[in-house]
Chains A and B, each alone.
Chain A
């Protein structure tokens, strides 16, 4: 339980400081630290595969996209500062809405009450579950990501045309 408390504290602290910092790159790096904390939580919970996937995808790939976006949209002149913007209220509203949605979903899902031995769950069982009962959700996620990718390509192509003309 101490380990869980330490992991939770580090993850939440990293996320909170990331929100408070003015420097976008520092924020992004701390955000990555909090993603590592979430992976550590998965490891603590015994979900090896999910933990490694979390590190591979979030720390390895999504962090790159975030940093790339920051560097491409801001003039890269070293440690830059961010002006306070008037978007705090909408930001808090959007964040609170997401929190409410997730909390509602978690609280309303039926969880098995028994706290006996955790089921032994290997990579193979995970794969069979994902492609068996949950194939629909997997396909929906894949379609969503593909649409997002196509949207990014369309945006980039439109930008390229503007530059050329």
Chain B
């Protein structure tokens, strides 16, 4: 990993620990080889850390969903070859072995090349997005001037892989899932990008480190200057969260794989390890989007209070990431799935207009940055009104005349 321009010696020992460990491993190599070794190490670290996180996340999700539904969840598989169960901690391992040893089935009518390529492409693209996220003060795998754009470019093609999977399976449910995946991407790419534009506007930078740097400092001595704590930032974050859920095919937007209507959609004709790859890519994509959300709106690796600065920055990033992932699971446990027309209507009639208005609010916020302290409450009130007003009016207008559905049984 290439440390950013900040002076590494100024940071504490814990802060520099990952870099020190890396230098201990590769320090002896001559210069061009050292760069390659460092890059390889960064890639391996990302793959290792986020694969383990994926394994634990599947267990956490099943456990949390189970607790929400008032049942225990997986609790049998424990440590292998022992009698310790540890509340089902061995479940990811058991699942992994099961997936690896299952037969790999390719339907006779399927397109074998695309059927094989789809999970590979999906996983590769999901992994690419991790390259530009600043995990800590000194932990940025790749510094790019257009980092945010890179993230979306790498992530944009994931639905293409879903389409490949659905179409190559030669199965009507899979094809329906492919069509839904395309419709969903076209609808939600726009609000997702429009929610990010205000952040880029206010930070004045497309680079992820630049955006974290723009959230430095404290208001009143203890309130962090994170973008989520401004009126336009809160609105952007909520739009981003909704669109990110849709982008990563998470419930309540999991229409492409809707188990109860499409028999898992594009996954219908996949078995064994390819199926596991799809799942891995889904969780990795979700984690990457959550990481971007933390970077853009929650101050990245910054501590929430000034005196907590002694905790290493990557720990804060990890905590925020886990909290956001928990929110994702919580939402899945709470909301029912949308219908496809409701899904596209929500995107085009609600999220896109709100995101566009929010862009105007953010521009106003940037223009009024120089107002005197006496006028600041007016600035906050005005921005808050610009955010809340359209939300309430548009929501009222779109749901006017809708009542809870009544069911009649013939």
Judge whether B93 is part of the interface by a CB distance below 8 angstroms. no
Which of B149, B152, B170, B186 is A68 in contact with, Cβ under 8 Å?
Answer: B186
Given A64-B182, A64-B185, A123-B146, A78 and B170 contact (CB-CB distance below 8 Å)? yes
Known: A60-B153, A61-B156. A48 touches B146 (CB 8 A): yes
Query: Most A CB atoms within 10 A — which of B114, B149, B152, B189?
Result: B149
Interface size class on chain B is 20 to 34
Find chain A residues with CB under 8 A from B152 CB: 52, 56, 60
Whether B206 is near chain A, meaning CB under 8 Å from some CB there, is yes
Using known A-B contacts A48-B145, A49-B146, A78-B109, determine if residue A67 contacts B163 with beta carbons closer than 8 Å: yes
Give me 16 A-to-B residue pairs in the complex whose CB atoms sit less than 8 angstroms apart, sorted by A's number. A29-B164, A48-B146, A49-B149, A49-B206, A52-B146, A55-B157, A56-B153, A59-B156, A59-B157, A60-B153, A60-B189, A63-B157, A63-B160, A67-B182, A123-B146, A123-B206
Q: Once the chains bind, are A79 and B170 in contact (CB under 8 Å)?
A: yes
- Chain B positions 157 through 183: 1 when the CB is less than 8 Å from some CB of chain A, otherwise 0: 101100110010010000100110011
Nearest-neighbour CB distance to chain A for B356, whole angstroms, equals: 14
Residue of B nearest to A63 (CB): B160
B61 within 8 A of A: no
**Complex: chain B residue closest to A55, CB-CB:** B153
The distance from the CB of A117 to the nearest CB of chain B, in whole angstroms, is 18
Query: Which residue in chain A gives the minimum CB-CB distance to B156?
Result: A60
Given contacts A55-B157, A56-B152, A79-B111, contact A65 B145 (CB under 8 A): no
A8 within 8 Å of B (CB atoms): no
- Check if B149 sits within 8 Å of A61, measured CB to CB: no
CB-contacts of A57-114 with B (<8 A): 59-61, 63-65, 67-68, 71, 76, 78-79
Q: Is the CB of A25 within 8 A of B167?
A: yes
Nearest-neighbour CB distance to chain B for A31, whole angstroms, equals 12
A15 within 8 A of B: no
Chain A residues, CB < 8 A from B178: 71
Contact A59 B146 (CB under 8 A): no
A7 at the interface (CB under 8 A from B): no
A interface list, Cβ under 8 A from B: 25, 29, 32, 48-49, 51-53, 55-56, 59-61, 63-65, 67-68, 71, 76, 78-79, 122-123
Identity of the chain A residue whose Cβ is nearest the Cβ of B163 in the assembled complex: A67
| Alpha-carbon gap, A54 to B265, bound state (A) | 30
B150–A61 CB distance below 8 A: no
Q: Are B160 and A32 in contact (CB under 8 A)?
A: yes
CA distance A81 to B164 in the complex (A): 17
Q: Does B77 contact A (CB under 8 A)?
A: no
Interface of B is mostly: helix
Known A32-B160, A64-B182, A68-B186; judge A52-B175 contact (CB<8 A).
no
Inter-chain contact B179/A71, CB cutoff 8 Å? yes
Interface residues of B in 128-143 (CB under 8 A from A): none
Contacts of A55 in B (CB 8 A): 153-154, 156-157
Partner pick for B150 among A32, A52, A60, CB 8 A cutoff: A52
Closest B residue, CB atoms, query A53: B149
- Chain B residues, Cβ within 8 Å of A61: 156, 186, 189
Rounded to whole angstroms, the CA-CA distance of A67 and B167 in the bound complex is 10
Kindly list chain B residues whose C-beta atoms are within 8 Å of the C-beta of A63: 157, 160
- Chain B residues lying within 8 Å of A60, measured Cβ to Cβ, are 152-153, 156-157, 160, 185, 189
| Chain B residues with CB below 8 A from A25, complex form | 167
What is the CB-to-nearest-CB distance from B215 to chain A, in angstroms, rounded to a whole number?
A: 19
B182 interface neighbour in A32, A51, A52, A68, Cβ under 8 Å? A68
- Taking the closest CB of chain A, its distance from the CB of B246, in whole angstroms, is 14
The answer to whether B229 has its CB under 8 Å from any CB of chain A is: no
Query: For residue A59, which residue of chain B has the nearest CB?
Result: B157
Contact check, A59 vs B160: say whether CB atoms are below 8 A apart: yes
Q: Which residues of A contact B206 (CB under 8 A)?
A: 49, 123
Nearest A-chain residue to B149, judged by Cβ: A52
A59 to chain B: closest CB distance in Å? 5
CA–CA, A67 to B150, complex, Å?
A: 23
Which B residues between 68 and 110 are near A, CB-CB below 8 angstroms? 109
Question: Given contacts A64-B163, A68-B179, A71-B178, could you give 8 more A-B pairs where the C-beta distance is less than 8 Å?
Answer: A48-B146, A48-B150, A49-B149, A53-B149, A55-B153, A60-B152, A60-B160, A60-B189
* B333: chain A residues within 8 A (beta carbon): none
